[in-house]
Amino acid sequence: MEHFDIKSDKAAGFINQQEIIRILSYAKEHCLEKNLALEILKKAEQMQGLSAEETAVLLLNQDEQLTDQIFTLATKIKNAYYGNRVVLFAPLYLSNYCVNGCTYCPYHASNHNIPRLKMSQEQIKAEVIALQDMGHKRLALEAGEHPLYNPLSYILESIETIYSIHHQSGSIRRVNVNIAATTVENYKLLQAAKIGTYILFQETYNQKQYEKLHPHGPKANYAYHTEAMDRAMSAGIEDVGLGVLFGLHNYAYELVALLLHAKHLETKFGAGPHTISVPRLRPADGINVQNFPDALPDDLFLKIVALLRIAVPYTGIIMSTRETETIRKKSLKLGVSQISGGSKTSVGGYTANDEQTEESAQFETADNRSLDEIVGWLMQLGYIPSFCTACYGKGRQGIDFMKICKEQQIHNFCAPNALLTLEEYLQNYASSKTRYIGSMLFNAETSKLPEVQKKILFSRIKDAKNGSVKFF
Ligand code: SAM
């Protein structure tokens, strides 16, 4: 039997079942000790993170006053590390052909109920232009796993197509990729194709449950899936994104394992995950959420978002349109730093609205507002919507990014950069109502900048308007 070792190359070593059970029983035993909880909170106030064990104690303590304190601290940490900027992106579904058997996903191979679609490069071009017309600059590519229909060569060709499209005033500047676990050789090819973040959700960290939910197909191999980020990082991909599909297994188990995974990557590669996504199970074709007994209620979900912000302050937290406007609003305050907007989870959904396309969707979204509405909403809440990809463009990735972020410096880069890209959005894509809200926010935010930064910002906006430099 494998022993717990955070540096281990083996899933059974760094996501060690005995260690997770030990942490959870320690937390259960001690969570009611008020002094211990307050001591942990005090440590968290230093904004350097918490261990999985400390986080589990706070999670299992259900005292309402403590939860309020956790939420207040999470907001404080969010502001210190990220300020009021929120990064925006959209998913792009390339193909829903899949050989796997994931029982919670309608793309599983034995579902003959949904149309199977795969976009040609021409269709991808049209979709990307539609996304660019909305104002998007950052995409997350999504595809089922199918060696014949969606081989890596197809993904690579699609990335090349996307980066090559220069439409009107700009282009897609960062392509993140969410595709199945693959080999070191393939990760090297993805790295060479200049992807942004490689995202792979663990779904569940509990091996037994994982194997039950993934009865066949390549994804059935728990260790291969769990060790994917090690392969990706050893292949040179600096930014990786973790995530659990909440609702598949016990939330406390998942949070502890997720934090061990983050710690493992940080210890082994010097940089923890660039992002953590917090997807929750959604209704989909043939998928009834009621049949999953571990469905996560809103209050606990929000507490998990806040605890992630406290436990890994320098890691971005991503929330998709799986969540409602209300939950997204609350989560932004507690720690979420990136959200998607105007999303379609169908293959070809940005250009076609026929029945076939709609039926190819992966799951039902809960926030169906347009990107313009979301940008306007964010600004009314006092956030700076950001389309910035400067860190990626300037090679501030992996360890370099983490170093700046841990020193709480990223904020200094981000505020002017976010405003620059917001101005780009307002001028080129926004409705008149959103532009009006934006001009007020822009003025208020620029007045907060130090004089030097303000000068640079205005001269860059002028240059961008003259076409002499790009926004990024
Ligand atoms: N095929 C890739 C893989 O195996 O990782 C890409 C994954 S898929 C396009 C993106 C994610 O959607 C999955 O990792 C899963 O967590 C999530 N997902 C699947 N079914 C879902 C559902 N019913 N509700 C919410 N999210 C779901």
C-alpha 217: how far from chain center: 25
Distance CA 308, CA 81 (A): 13
- pTM confidence score: 0.95
In the reported structure, the alpha carbon of residue 105 is separated from the centroid of ligand 1 by a whole-number distance in angstroms of 6
Alpha-helical runs (H) found in 31-151: 34-44, 52-60, 64-82, 121-134
Radius of gyration of the chain (CA): 21
Q: Provide the pLDDT for residue 188.
A: 98
In the reported structure, the alpha carbon of residue 203 is separated from the centroid of ligand 1 by a whole-number distance in angstroms of 8
In the reported structure, the alpha carbon of residue 297 is separated from the centroid of ligand 1 by a whole-number distance in angstroms of 20
Q: Provide the pLDDT for residue 432.
A: 97
Q: Provide the pLDDT for residue 450.
A: 87
Q: Provide the pLDDT for residue 461.
A: 84
In the reported structure, the alpha carbon of residue 120 is separated from the centroid of ligand 1 by a whole-number distance in angstroms of 22
Distance CA 54, CA 41 (A): 9
Distance CA 197, CA 398 (A): 10
- Tokens of residue 151, six digits: 């081989």
Contact assessment for residue 75 and residue 313, using Cβ atoms and an 8 Å cutoff: no
If you search the block for the tokens 């983490």, which residue do you land on?
402
Q: Tell which atom from ligand 1 comes closest to the C-alpha of 243.
A: 16
- The residue whose CB lies within 8 Å of the most ligand 1 atoms, and thus the one to mutate among 99, 104, 231, 345, is 104
Distance CA 408, CA 178 (A): 28
Q: Provide the pLDDT for residue 388.
A: 84
In the reported structure, the alpha carbon of residue 157 is separated from the centroid of ligand 1 by a whole-number distance in angstroms of 22
Contact assessment for residue 260 and residue 266, using Cβ atoms and an 8 Å cutoff: no
Q: Three-state DSSP class for 167? A: strand
- Tokens of residue 270, six digits: 């010097």
Q: Whose CA is nearest to atom 3 of ligand 1?
A: 180
Closest of 316, 278, 345, 356 to residue 140, by C-alpha? 345
Residue type, 316: G
- The residue whose CB lies within 8 Å of the most ligand 1 atoms, and thus the one to mutate among 118, 292, 362, 364, is 362
In the reported structure, the alpha carbon of residue 324 is separated from the centroid of ligand 1 by a whole-number distance in angstroms of 18
Distance CA 198, CA 181 (A): 10
Distance CA 91, CA 72 (A): 31
Q: Whose CA is nearest to atom 1 of ligand 1?
A: 144
In the reported structure, the alpha carbon of residue 144 is separated from the centroid of ligand 1 by a whole-number distance in angstroms of 9
Contact assessment for residue 406 and residue 314, using Cβ atoms and an 8 Å cutoff: yes
- The residue whose CB lies within 8 Å of the most ligand 1 atoms, and thus the one to mutate among 245, 290, 322, is 245
pLDDT per residue of the chain (472 residues) written in tens, 0 to 9? 789 999 999 999 999 999 999 999 999 999 999 999 999 999 999 999 999 999 999 999 999 999 999 999 999 999 998 899 999 999 999 999 999 999 999 999 999 999 999 999 999 999 999 999 999 999 999 999 999 999 999 999 999 999 999 998 789 999 999 999 999 999 999 999 999 999 999 999 999 999 999 999 999 999 999 999 999 999 999 999 999 999 999 999 999 999 999 999 999 999 999 999 999 999 999 999 999 999 999 999 999 999 999 999 999 999 999 999 999 999 999 999 999 999 999 999 999 988 999 899 999 999 999 999 999 999 999 999 999 887 766 666 777 767 666 666 656 667 788 899 999 999 999 999 999 999 999 999 999 988 888 888 888 888 877 765 565 5
**Could you tell me the end-to-end alpha-carbon distance of the chain, in angstroms, rounded to an integer?**
51
Q: Tell which atom from ligand 1 comes closest to the C-alpha of 245.
A: 16
How many residues belong to the chain?
Answer: 472
Q: Whose CA is nearest to atom 26 of ligand 1?
A: 281
In the reported structure, the alpha carbon of residue 284 is separated from the centroid of ligand 1 by a whole-number distance in angstroms of 11
| C-alpha triplet 128, 160, 413: angle, nearest 5° | 75
Pocket of ligand 1 (CB under 6 A): 104-105, 142, 144-145, 178-180, 200-201, 203, 219, 245, 279, 281-282, 284, 287, 322, 362-363
Q: Three-state DSSP class for 105? A: coil
- Tokens of residue 397, six digits: 């990735």
